Amino acid sequence: MENCLFCKIAEGQVPAKIIYQDEDVVAFEDINPQAPHHILLIPRRHIASMSDLTLEDGPMLALLFITADRLAKKLGLGERGYRFVTNVGPDAGQAVFHLHFHLLGGRKFSWPPG
């Protein structure tokens, strides 16, 4: 999609520290990390947010979640754990309207979140 920052990152038009990519999923470092490890995972195809998912996205989502867990284990977070979240809309503070999941790890997270 035109003028979508994360589409541009997925297409290599905007630079990012890409950690992993395949046909369906791209993972890269967040530019403003909120934890020692902060990686964003996105579908390569433009989907604005979790609100726009359909059942057909099931296999892609499974791949994305499994990739996140694999990356977390690679980063040494297998034992201590991590947080995996997506923001939808204004109350959650969604700033980029291309579906993305935050993989956060390397420190303790509070609950309930702020």
Footprint of ligand AMP (CB under 6 A): 5, 16, 30-32, 40, 87, 93-96
Residue 7 near which of ligand AMP, Zn ion, none (CB within 5-8 Å, type-dependent): Zn ion
| Catalytic residue status for 100 | yes
Alpha helix positions (H), the chain: 5-11, 58-74, 89-92
| Cα four-point dihedral sign 1, 20, 63, 105 | negative
8 binds Zn ion (CB under 5 A): no
DSSP state letter for 52? G
Residue 35 near which of Zn ion, ligand AMP, none (CB within 5-8 Å, type-dependent): none
Kindly tell me which of 6 and 82 has the beta carbon lying closer to Zn ion. 6
Tokens of 8: 């541009």
Kindly tell me which of 52 and 78 has the beta carbon lying closer to ligand AMP. 52
Residue 55 near which of ligand AMP, Zn ion, none (CB within 5-8 Å, type-dependent): none
Residues facing residue 83 across a β-bridge: 104
Distance CA 108, CA 64 (A): 23
User: Which parts of this chain interact with Zn ion (CB under 5 A)?
Assistant: 1, 4, 6-7, 46, 98
